Structure 1
Amino acid sequence: MTQLLAGDTGGTKTILLLAEAEETGDKIQLKPLYESRYVSAEFPDLVPMVRSFLESAAEAIGQTPAPHKACFSIAGPVVDNTCTLTNLSWLLDGDRIRDDLGLKQVRLMNDFVAVGYGIEGLAPEDVHTLQAGEPKADAPIAIIGAGTGLGQGFLIHQDGRYRVYPTEGGHTDFAPRNELEFQLLKYLRDKLSINRISVERVVSGMGIVAIYQFLRDRQVTGESPDIAEVVRTWEREAGKTEKTVDPGAVIGTAAAEGRDRLCKETMELFADLYGAEAGNLALKLLPFGGLYIAGGIAAKNLPLLKSGCFLRAMSDKGRMRPLMERIPVHVILNQNVGLLGAALSAARL
């Protein structure tokens, strides 16, 4: 078995994993040895963090770690094995990290690409199937994930295994389908003083807040004082890198608990828009290998997605409805899927 390092690296936190990997045929078996979580900003670079991790791992497992290769998923664009983190002043270079740590190979990959590779390693309990569909072996797989932004990607079966390709699909145009959504489009254009609204503006964490503000300002129903205070705090902190509140999470929780009508209507419209965009992605890729919904928003709001609004919007594609109803749709529940993907990728270096 070969020792390897994997990391899920973000501007706020980084999770590191030491594991052993064994490849049998086209399958890789991972044996985790040690895992730890770090506050990214407490380190000047990834290398000293990894060195600290290896020292802790040595104490925990009772022997000196000897990884030969590593893969780190990065919250930012990766070009030629280099990346500048989106929310942290780290300039990472895979070759430099390899030399500094004395490894044989190091690969950096975009965090959403890592999610794609992690799909292969998911256990049955790591996913919830919204629609069984009619899966086909070796067919394309689609991934969509609303979080800070809206990630989209796809997997194509090549040379006996799936390979992941990123896209910038979250930055395509928001396409309203009814009068309410046209009003939402106009509201955002006026509020933000921009002509073009991307789908990421409404299907993401910030999208949840935008929808709430839109419904609030239309005076659809009154605000709860506690929710209003969180949203107002977030509005006052506009432009700041670090926010003290997470209104998207608060709105989602209040909706799930059924204690706030405005939050409930916000999340229902959000799920509707999310499903519609998932359907757009599915039309372009025909992912009979499965459409996987990633990101914390989906997992935390699973009852909402299970209620049927997501699938109704996804399938509402006119003459293409029967096709949409044949596509398998799964929600990823394992929030460490990116770390898993990085580990599987490291094993194949």
Structure 2
Amino acid sequence: MSSQAILVGDVGGTNVRLAIAHIDSNQQVELSHVERMPVLSFPSLEEAIEAWQADGRILPSTAVFALAGPTGADEVRFTNSSWLVSASATKARFGFDHVTLVNDFAAQARAVPSNNEDAFETLIEGEAQAGAPIVVLGPGTGLGMALLVPDGREWRVLSTEGGHQAYAPVSPRERQILEVVAEDLPYVSYENLVSGLGLDRLYKAIAKLEGRVARLKGGDEIGPAAIAGDDPSAVEAVEVMIQSLATFAGNAILATGARGGCVIAGGVSEALAPFMRTSEFVARLLGRGPVSGYLSGIPVRRARNAFAALEGAAFFAPKHPA
């Protein structure tokens, strides 16, 4: 892998992060000139890049952008914002030799093998099975999921849109909440409830069921209120979201055979980590009836590295640029 400079971007529905990355001989990524900017401040990624350049920063010849949406084509339209990113248009506008678009959770996943143990918090103890896949998932503005598969001395990343699987309630209360949410959504996915946007939906649904006024709006208000215990609807909304995240994570392990472990990432899991450090979270993730034993011993960790997607994106740059 070349130690070339790479412009890397982590582009979500809320924020865009840009940086310069170098990969050293030990497959560690060094970032510099890291900057986070609100997506709503710019009409497009190109304008955000120009703002990042405003301090006289020089663009390298290679760029990789990790995007919150399905990739694989020259153009990517975001799931949770109005941005449309075109690899060819961005390449032409800035004179890049190479522009690569990858899914943001593919980048999150690729960073896992290069991160040290202190970049993770253990939620469920276990021992990874050698040669088995690792599933990386988590809530941000949406709900991402990717699979990391060992391939000799390398790693292959399989992008997925697993967050859009149909939501499955487990408790009677979740069934009540689903009925309220389904009044406005013809199809309710896990992402619709297990995400920053989903937290707002949960809060409003719970307030309606309880006959309370939904006085808070958005994860930035609901999350802190839940942690402080100031609003009963906020507390329950976060608890339901985190329990549903546990269900989703357990489902992902079963569906992908990820006996190499599960890593939960994303900005929402960082903000609401205290709700994941509970026996209820563990029981919900591992409780699978007659196949509960399949999940026993599989390690579940929470990623602490806020720049993981930027670091992982660097590995998708062409290995032998022209």
User: TM-score normalized by structure 2?
Assistant: 0.86
Distance verdict in 2 for CA 1:42–1:136, change over 3 Å: same
Residues 1:47 and 1:187: Cα distance change in structure 2 (over 3 Å): closer
Write the distance in 1 (CA, Å) between the matches of 2:192 and 2:302: 21
Count of residue pairs the alignment pairs up: 318
Q: Percent identity?
A: 31
Task: Kindly indicate whether residue 219 of structure 2 is the aligned counterpart of residue 230 of structure 1.
Answer: no
* Aligned match of 1:139: 132
Q: CA deviation at 1:5?
A: 1.4
How far apart are the structure 2 equivalents of 1:266 and 1:87?
Answer: 21
- What's the offset of the Cα at 1:77? 2.8
Q: Give the 5 Å matches for 1:92-103.
A: 92-103=85-96
Query: Contact 2:127–2:299 at 8 Å: present in 1 too?
Result: yes
Cα contact 1:142–1:291 (8 A) shared by 2: yes
- Between structure 1 and structure 2, the one with the greater Rg is 1
Note the residue ranges of structure 2 that are not aligned, 5 or more in a row: none
Query: Structure 1-normalised TM-score?
Result: 0.80
1:107-151 CA deviation, whole Å, 9 max, x = no partner? 111222221222233233321110121212331011221222222
Distance 2:51 2:193 in 1: 40
Q: Distance in 2 between matches of 1:184 and 1:342?
A: 37
Structure-1 separation of matches of 2:38 and 2:235:
33
Distance across 2 between alignment mates of 1:301 and 1:146: 10
Instruction: State the match for 2:254 in structure 1.
Output: 283
Matched, 1:129 2:131: no
Q: Which amino acid aligns with 2:70?
A: P
* Deviation of the 1:36 alpha carbon: 2.7
Please, what is the CA RMSD of the aligned residues?
Answer: 2.7
Q: Partner of 1:187 in structure 2?
A: 180
Give the Cα separation in 2 of the matches to 1:175 and 1:54: 45
Structure 1 match to 2:34:
35
Q: Distance in 1 between matches of 2:44 and 2:235?
A: 42
- Mapped partners of 2:173, 2:39: distance in 1: 41
Is contact 1:173–1:199 with CA below 8 Å preserved after alignment?
Answer: yes
CA contact (8 A) 2:145 2:162 kept: yes
Partner SS for 1:230: coil
Aligned residue for 1:79?
A: 72
Deviation sequence 1:12-63 (CA, Å, 0-9, x none):
54222123333x3xx42333342233455555654465455456354xxxxx
Amino acid at match of 1:211: L
- Alpha-carbon displacement from aligned partner over 1:137-177 (angstroms, at most 9, x marks no partner): 33101122122222222112225322211222222222222
Give distance in 1, aligned partners of 2:54 and 2:208: 54
Secondary structure of the residue aligned to 2:170 is coil
